[in-house]
């Protein structure tokens, strides 16, 4: 088996590359890598393995210099005759930004980039599988507070919290129209956060949001709304198991906590809080107070507003942020994460468990203990700018 994969320098893609590199059934893994040169691309892919001292086989792991945003990407890949023996394409790359500022770039990478890849993949002489890493969150706002099934999506009538999930929905529709059904495998991870193993996570994606919750301590959200979160190592293992599953019966699979391993923001926040006993208690309040928090940070909150009841937190924010107007940066970036958290969605994972024999994932409020000590290393303002 020869695999072409995108997104290997990313959070999930990096772990997936490590997982795939261990499989003896795979001869070569071609990795699409952005870089200044072939040497730079090789350096970047080596760093993926160096993080946790995983063995790197340069005969098996082959960087391919390229960018999903290149208009000539499909031609570039087609002209590289070395890639003609590719029989599996795994598209794990995506721009996952929630900020409206990056909406155009998100569409360019997630939709236009996919178009380039499909055009090339359809010309491969021996393509057997096109594996697309989507997201369970394409289910939209309407499917709140319940267990969502795979066949309910994609649905173009639903509304999306952010452009990212819209583009991933459109990606699935595009693939269904362009790739032969017997070759298409779609995996939809739920929220991926941290690593269940006792080491530094490959990325602080999503952990950034909990670092922000940890520093704010007064949170305008329903803390006990159910939340579907999995670790990156579970996601990578599940994708690999599905790729090699001999009895795969479906085209689409959730990779998720499901009902049994679901969590909530409050439980996770309270576990993290144990590592920061010097800070005020974590308290969840009505989401309507988000607007008041922004007004307070702008120093225009009317007298008598409900937020003034939490004077200990207001004093804490003054001490923590100095210029309280900076707090608005965090609140703006955190808002869509809180909206997702309040939706109460869980995603059915019975297909995955039945067709791979995998165990249920460890709940996030259990494994977060292995990542909590790294929370202090997260630059919350830097994360807000990139989110």
Residue 375 DSSP symbol: G
Beta strand 226-227 pairing with 263-264: antiparallel
Helix (H) or strand (E) segment spanning residue 47: helix 38-50
**pLDDT confidence of residue 360:** 98
Q: Is residue 122 part of a domain?
A: yes
In a structure prediction context, what are the per-residue pLDDT tens digits for the chain, which is 387 residues long?
A: 999 999 999 999 999 999 999 999 999 999 999 999 999 999 999 999 999 999 999 999 999 999 999 999 999 999 999 999 999 999 999 999 999 999 999 999 999 999 999 999 999 999 999 999 999 999 999 999 999 999 999 999 999 999 999 999 999 999 999 999 999 999 999 999 999 999 999 999 999 999 999 999 999 999 999 999 999 999 999 999 999 999 999 999 999 999 999 999 999 999 999 999 999 999 999 999 999 999 999 999 999 999 999 999 999 999 999 999 999 999 999 999 999 999 999 999 999 999 999 999 999 999 999 999 899 999 999 999 888
- Closest CA relative to residue 229, chosen from 257, 201, 207, 187: 257
**pLDDT confidence of residue 386:** 86
Q: Is residue 174 part of a domain?
A: yes
Tokens 């909590």: give the residue.
372
Our CA angle for 67, 69, 71, nearest 5°, is 100
Q: Is residue 72 part of a domain?
A: yes
Count structural domains, the chain.
1
Q: Is residue 369 part of a domain?
A: no
**pLDDT confidence of residue 126:** 96
Residue 202 near residue 240 (C-beta atoms within 8 A): no
User: What CA–CA distance (Å, rounded) separates 13 from 17?
Assistant: 6
Q: Is residue 160 part of a domain?
A: yes
The CATH number covering residue 78 comes to 3.40.50.720
Q: Is residue 24 part of a domain?
A: yes
Q: Which residues contact 180 (CB under 8 A, 6 or more apart)?
A: none
Q: Which residues contact 304 (CB under 8 A, 6 or more apart)?
A: none
The residue segments making up the domain with residue 20 are 2-199+228-262+344-363
**pLDDT confidence of residue 387:** 82
Q: Is residue 302 part of a domain?
A: no
Instruction: Supply 386's token pair.
Output: 């990139």
Q: Is residue 335 part of a domain?
A: no
**pLDDT confidence of residue 19:** 98
Residue 115 near residue 71 (C-beta atoms within 8 A): no
Paired with 285 in beta bridges are 220
**pLDDT confidence of residue 110:** 98
> 10 Å Cβ neighbour count for 108?
15
Residue 145 DSSP symbol: S
Give the pTM.
0.96
């Amino acid at each position: 088996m020869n695999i072409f994969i995108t997104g290997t320098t990313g959070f999930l893609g990096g772990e997936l590359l490590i997982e795939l590199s261990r499989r003896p059934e795979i001869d070569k893994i071609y990795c699409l890598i952005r870089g200044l040169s072939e040497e730079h691309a090789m350096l970047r892919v080596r760093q993926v393995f160096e993080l946790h001292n995983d063995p790197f086989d340069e005969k098996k792991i082959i960087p391919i210099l390229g960018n999903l945003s290149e208009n000539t990407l499909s031609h570039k890949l087609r002209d590289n005759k070395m890639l003609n023996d590719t029989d599996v394409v795994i598209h794990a790359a995506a721009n996952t930004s929630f900020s409206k500022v990056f909406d155009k770039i998100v569409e360019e990478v997630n939709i236009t980039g996919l178009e380039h890849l499909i055009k090339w993949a359809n010309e491969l002489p021996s393509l057997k599988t096109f594996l697309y890493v989507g997201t369970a969150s394409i289910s939209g706002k309407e499917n709140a507070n319940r267990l969502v099934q795979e066949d309910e999506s994609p649905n173009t009538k639903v509304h999306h919290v952010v452009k990212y999930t819209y583009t991933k929905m459109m990606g699935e529709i595009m693939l269904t129209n362009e790739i032969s059904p017997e070759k298409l495998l779609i995996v939809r991870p739920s929220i991926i956060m941290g690593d269940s193993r006792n080491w530094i996570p490959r990325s602080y994606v999503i952990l950034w949001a909990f670092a922000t919750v940890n520093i704010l301590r007064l949170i305008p959200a329903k803390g006990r709304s159910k939340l579907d979160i999995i670790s990156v190592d579970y996601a990578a293992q599940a994708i690999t198991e599905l790729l090699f599953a001999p009895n795969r019966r479906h085209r689409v699979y959730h990779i998720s906590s499901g009902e049994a391993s679901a969590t909530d923001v409050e439980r996770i926040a309270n576990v993290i809080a144990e590592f920061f006993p010097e800070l005020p208690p974590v308290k969840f309040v009505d989401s309507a107070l988000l607007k008041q928090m922004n007004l307070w940070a702008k120093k225009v909150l009317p007298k008598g507003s409900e937020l003034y009841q939490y004077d200990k937190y207001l004093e804490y924010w003054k001490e923590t942020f100095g210029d309280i107007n900076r707090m608005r940066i965090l609140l703006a970036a955190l808002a869509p994460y809180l909206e997702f958290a309040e939706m109460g969605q869980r995603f059915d994972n019975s297909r995955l468990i039945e067709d791979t024999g995998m165990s249920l994932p460890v709940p996030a409020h259990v494994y977060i203990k292995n990542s909590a000590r790294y929370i202090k290393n997260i630059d919350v303002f830097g994360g807000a700018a990139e989110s």
